[in-house]
Amino acid sequence: MKSILRIFLYFAQFTLTLLTETPKIMRPLILISNDDGYQSRGLAALIEAVRELGDVFVVAPDGPRSGASCSIVSDVPISYRHIRSEEGVKVYACSGTPCLCVKMALDQMMMRRPDLVVAGINHGNNASINVHYSGTTAVATEAALCGIPAVAFSLDNHDPEADVERLIPICNHITRRVLEHGLPYGSYLNVNFPDSEIFQGIRVCRMAYSRWVDEFEPCPRSRGGHYFWLTGEQVDDEPNDTTTDLWAMRHDYVAITPIMVDPTDHNLVQQMQQWDL
């Protein structure tokens, strides 16, 4: 009888504890990476922009990886090392590409799935077709492929000493909205800041059609051979279209372009149903 009573009292106390204790609220977990490396000013600014919104876990390349796109490496081992830790922030450097930084973080390093992935702040714009070449947007692409909401931030200024700190409030604002509203599976936001002292506002845009011309500059060598520097100029093929990201940036707006990782041309799919294949 006493044993039954003890068991009853134990479960009564356990139930009362569940009903009266305030559950601990878990802060959002935010993964950050980039393609300029873990020491870049843009990365430091992005950490400051989002740290109040959740716990920050940084896995960034150990050196510059600009233009890496979604490239991966399979012929050499990938490593990471701890750089520093402070309240709510952990920073690691990874020997891989930006895409591999995200893969490593999700597969080997993080104790739970992040609520959001943010990339940047990149030194140089990733508007229009640049989204296909950028290692910054590759971070967001990899996240979206895993069904994790993501945002990529870039400034239209390649100077590594450019003033990115002034972008912190807007990065915070956009990140907060994504945490509140979420994003569809397989989509991310590509955010590009014009190199302007004053922004006219924020515009949600589509990606402009553009192309690169004069992409190589000769690099003569004393012993001959064919050597070139990759360079070039981006040409906007629809400069007067007010719905594009390039138009918005030329007019001092912050451009936000929602990107889908599904590249299927669904209209062409319908047309091809009529082909005699």
Residue 215: pLDDT band with limits 50, 70, 90:
confident
- pLDDT digits 0-9 by tens, 252-274: 999 999 999 999 999 999 999 99
**Alpha helices in the chain, H assignment, sequence order:** 2-20, 41-50, 98-104, 135-145, 168-181, 245-250, 266-272
Give the per-residue pLDDT at 73: 83
CA distance 196 to 87: 33
> Residue 85 pLDDT more than 50?
yes
Q: How far apart are CA 133 and CA 156, in angstroms?
A: 15
Strand 80-86 to strand 89-94: parallel, antiparallel, or no bridges (unpaired)? antiparallel
pLDDT in tens, 223-233: 778 888 888 88
pLDDT one-digit tens code per residue, 141-164: 999 999 999 999 999 999 988 999
Q: For residues 89 and 67, what is the distance between their CA atoms, to the nearest angstrom?
A: 27
* 68-83 residue pLDDT tens: 888 888 888 999 999 9
CB 99 within 8 A of CB 67: no
Among 157-161, 187-191, 214-218, whose mean pLDDT is lowest?
A: 214-218
What average pLDDT does range 120-129 have in this prediction?
A: 92
Render pLDDT for 22-64 as a digit per residue (tens, 0 to 9): 455 789 999 999 998 999 999 999 999 999 999 999 999 988 7
End-to-end CA distance of the chain: 81
At residue 22, the pLDDT reads 45
Nearest of 32, 28, 34, 33 to residue 53 by alpha carbon = 28
| Antiparallel, parallel or unpaired: β 55-61 and 29-33 | parallel
Whether the per-residue pLDDT at 18 is higher than 50: the answer is no
CA distance 115 to 28: 6
d(CA 63, CA 275): 49
* pLDDT surpasses 60 at 14: no
